[in-house]
A and B are shown apart, each in its own frame.
Chain A
Amino acid sequence: MRRCFQLFWLFLANGYLFFLKDSKIYQGPIKGICVPFLNCYSCPAAVASCPIGALQHFLSRIRPSLKVGIYQFGLFVIGGIGLIGILVGRMVCGWACPFGLLQEMLYKIPSPKFHLPPFLRFIKYGVLIFFVFLLPILIVDKMGYGQSWFCRYLCPVGTLEAGIPALFLFPSLRRQIGLLFFNKVFILSVLLVMMVLFKRPFCRLLCPLGAFYGLFNHVSLVQMEVDKNRCTKCNLCYEKCPMGIKIYEGPNQVDCIRCLICRDVCPFQAISLRMSLGNSHKGGRLGTCRN
């Protein structure tokens, strides 16, 4: 069921296949909408925009825009991802993100598996604060324009979906690649290897959008719930969790992507998903059907 959703979103966000015929990226009005996950809008097949890319674009041009009386701060993007955050929290990461799907697929490759040290998860908050918000605003050129720091220096999704395909699609670009491109290919390569060895390394270490959504996990309408009377802390959920968290230590902790694998593997049916617009004793339970 979850795989179907992930594939649906993958093809919905990257459904423009005419690029194969006319060698152009999609240029229609749907590009004005941001998908709720990382999906590079320079990808030849992308039909919508990336929220993190769009946000950085607005922040990097705040100073020159204000000088000419244009008041655009990325409110549309912040409002959009904030609304999704308050509705479902980080559920998007588990049910929609194509890069999350890739990470789960690569982790299935048989190999020795390792655990990531928990403190490393704080890196993504640094990425969100510095690379997405502060650096595009603070470090500017003579004209007052900043850069999209996350896209330019870090984002492996952009390299995979846009950078590498663009080299095949537009051969003239091959002459322009330099150190920056090799840096990004190196980051992507390291992450691809890590995806085989670790569970969802990009989501847990670097993803700024996941960091943002995770902040809403405690207050979102969709809530995870663990019945402490039924839970025996057998750790079956921990072993299967793609984010490597112990849900019984806190059902709505910031790294939970609400993929519901824990609910499905729990032999005691101690874990459930609840839709709530009230206190913890109200609201209907969701996802009790295990099909």
Chain B
Amino acid sequence: MKLNKIRIGLIFFFLFLIILGINLGEIREIIKKGTQICLSCIGIR
């Protein structure tokens, strides 16, 4: 029963984080970052 509560609590916690992240405009930022080739990320320079 305790484990059950932890699971449900964690599910709602992570859902809350997702919604908060969306409201803070994080998806827009990921699109901005993801639509250009990051040369340093892929180790070109």
Contact = CB atoms under 8 A, between A and B. Distances in A.
A176 B39 contact: yes
B7 A158 contact: no
A151 B38 CA distance: 10
Contacts of A277: 4, 7-8
Contact of A79 (B7, B15, B37, B44): B15
A204 interface: no
A45 to B, nearest CB: 13
A27 to B, nearest CB: 4
A58 interface: yes
Interface in B16-45: 16-22, 24-31, 33-45
B interface secondary structure, majority:
helix
A86 B14 contact: yes
A152 B11 contact: no
Given A77-B26, A177-B44, A83 B7 contact: no
Contacts of A28: 35
Contact of B26 (A42, A74, A162, A183): A74
Residue with the greatest number of chain B CB neighbours at <10 A, chosen from A29, A31, A79, A162 = A79
B11 to A, nearest CB: 6
Contact of B6 (A34, A166, A170, A219): A219
Contacts of B17: 75-76, 78-79, 82
Interface string A161-187: 011001100100100111011011100
B39 to A, nearest CB: 7
Contact residues on B (Cβ < 8 Å of other chain), bracket: 35 or more
A57 B33 contact: yes
A127 interface: no
Contacts of A166: 37, 42, 44
Nearest to B21: A76
A86 B7 CA distance: 7
B44 A173 contact: yes
A278 B24 CA distance: 34
A72 B44 contact: no
A166 B16 CA distance: 37
Contacts of B7: 86, 219-221, 277
Nearest to B38: A42
3 shortest interchain CB distances as A-B pairs: A76-B21, A79-B17, A79-B18
Given A32-B31, A86-B7, A221-B7, 17 more contacts: A28-B35, A31-B30, A32-B28, A33-B27, A46-B34, A48-B34, A53-B41, A74-B21, A76-B24, A76-B30, A77-B26, A86-B11, A148-B38, A152-B41, A163-B43, A180-B45, A219-B7
